[in-house]
A and B are shown apart, each in its own frame.
Chain A
């Protein structure tokens, strides 16, 4: 995903004009069409990932290759059914995926679905935190940049936005760790919580796995503080880098809306400049942001893999990196497929939201 394509493809931020007597079936039809479009996307991704992973051989040889004799390997491969024709395996795999069975991991023999549920919550928490940081940073700064267009605050912010694109999240993480963790000693540098907190939170009745939510529910304030301290650096690293994208987006769209007649009309009525920026220009500039958010989710998940590895944050990305090192390709395949489904569903939800807000989006 390139920078300019994000700002270039967004619909123009004019406020939506009320369509004259929208027909009842219009939106519903769009919803159904859009929903049906998920199916080929997910299907193609599952197929592509399956065949790519099988081209190189079976998962058992990959994981156990050096440790077992060829005879033992052959027995294991036969037991698992990897010696049958690839096409039959593929049909079987499809059946399994649709019945919610993603197989068992090679390295630690757990159900892949169980791994997904256990570690998915951590990734969700990280993603939410990062989006909060990104919005809190990106929107106000984007408005400032639009207001002072082509003057020095804008120039500084543009450079910052490029910097945030140019910095890999693991390098930002390394710097944050060094500064706030090692030199200043203010914040913990890895993990999601201290072991005492971890013990207290996992001992709860049906924990959600999202630590700050669990800490809030149990009213454990010490745990909440600990969890927040641990969450701060990863959220900053991933959030600041994503925030740069939001900044550019808000800037471009707010420049568009600031130049429109209704803003000028507001100014002539004596509406303050501050109010013009934060109310008049801001609202319509939000619509394209929602659309781009969907694309950002895909980027955020990619970033989450790197962020989690950097901060040893025990989420899906962290586990994915572990399974990759262990050459556990059943687990890798499962996680990748589920992430693909998440991305496809998010894009669907975002498109629907965009259509609800701006009727012109509908086909």
Chain B
């Protein structure tokens, strides 16, 4: 992840962490974008972690000691973002929605990373008929509209509706199937390239087993670009989850709060001018995806020296350092 250079080896460990080192490298607009992305991402993670503390009510709570909540009431002091048609508090549901989203993202990305990298390694290193079948299969799935595939998968897994964990796993597995080809392609291409390198050949010559070559020699070299795909896929997972939820293929509203499903319910509210039920979950999706995308994009640009921009001061320092050395 970090740029290998002599200077970076002397820096303290925290300065070499991926995001921190990127932050130190950046300047101007690039730094602004990275920071904006980090702020949004942290906001998302905080509301996911501390949803029960932030939200005044439960996500499926429609009454309290003082009686039933009003239905479709506009934002006021008690319900700062208003209430839905079933009397749920929009603010609480939006906060808890981050929780559902983060579980799905983690599950989907981990599963597709694990399976995709494994298949890519084996397929790329061993080659032969297995490789050929995998490539055709991956290409076929890759060309297919991902949302449709996710719909088919969620029918298979849960026949549509389901409980909290069932729903989260169904959404995550649906998304995983869509992502595996992407990881597979990237890793396979890298392995194909690395296979011809001298260090792999020397490992083969001294009699390392194929598994050893794959997992000690190839794996770490082939997975350098993955953190970038990771951020982009996290956003894709979130958008697919919201799309599934919007089509009514998500998690039941009483089992968990999900932004896409809430937007589906908000469509009919919009016709009568009720904006708060849709605006807030929608903004939550947009800001979260934007945050993650900004982080991923900035890291991508900063990793590429041709796209990296220095501030004038820093550029001067670098030139001077070059002159004095």
Q: Which residue of A lies closest to B272 (CB)?
A: A182
User: Are B273's CB and A170's CB within 8 A?
Assistant: no
Interface residues of B, Cβ cutoff 8 Å to A: 29, 33, 136-137, 139-141, 143-148, 151-153, 155-156, 159-160, 182, 228-229, 232-233, 235-236, 239, 242-243, 246-249, 260, 263-264, 266-267, 270-273, 275, 278-279, 282, 285-287, 289-290, 293-294, 297, 300, 309
Q: How far is the CA of A62 from the CA of B160 in the complex (A)?
A: 11
List of B residues within 8 angstroms of A62 by Cβ: 159
Closest Cβ–Cβ distance, residue A264 to chain B (whole Å)? 19
List of B residues within 8 angstroms of A45 by Cβ: 140, 144
Stretch at the interface among A94-102, A161-169, A196-204, A273-281: A161-169
| Residue from B137, B148, B152, B273 in contact with A302 in the complex, judged by beta carbons closer than 8 Å | B148
Say if the beta carbon of A299 comes within 8 Å of chain B. yes
Q: How far is the CA of A131 from the CA of B319 in the complex (A)?
A: 48
Q: How far is the CA of A1 from the CA of B235 in the complex (A)?
A: 11
Can you list, as one digit per residue, whether each of A154-183 has a CB less than 8 Å from chain B (1) or not (0)? 010001001101111011001101100111
Q: Which residue of B lies closest to A346 (CB)?
A: B143
| B interface: dominant SS | helix
Q: How far is the CA of A177 from the CA of B300 in the complex (A)?
A: 36
Interface residues of A, Cβ cutoff 8 Å to B: 1-5, 40-41, 44-45, 48-49, 52-53, 55-56, 62, 150, 155, 159, 162-163, 165-168, 170-171, 174-175, 177-178, 181-183, 189-190, 298-299, 301-302, 305-306, 309-310, 320-321, 324-325, 327, 329, 332, 336, 339-340, 343-344, 347
Q: Beyond A168-B282, A171-B278, A301-B145, is A177–B270 a contact (Cβ under 8 Å)?
A: yes
User: Are B147's CB and A49's CB within 8 A?
Assistant: no
Q: Which residue of B lies closest to A298 (CB)?
A: B145
Q: How far is the CA of A292 from the CA of B300 in the complex (A)?
A: 21
User: Are A162's CB and B233's CB within 8 A?
Assistant: no
List of A residues within 8 angstroms of B160 by Cβ: 324, 327
Q: How far is the CA of A325 from the CA of B246 in the complex (A)?
A: 12
User: Are A165's CB and B289's CB within 8 A?
Assistant: yes
List of A residues within 8 angstroms of B264 by Cβ: 170
Q: How far is the CA of A343 from the CA of B300 in the complex (A)?
A: 30
Closest Cβ–Cβ distance, residue B307 to chain A (whole Å)? 10
Most B C-beta atoms less than 10 A away, residue of A2, A44, A183, A299: A2
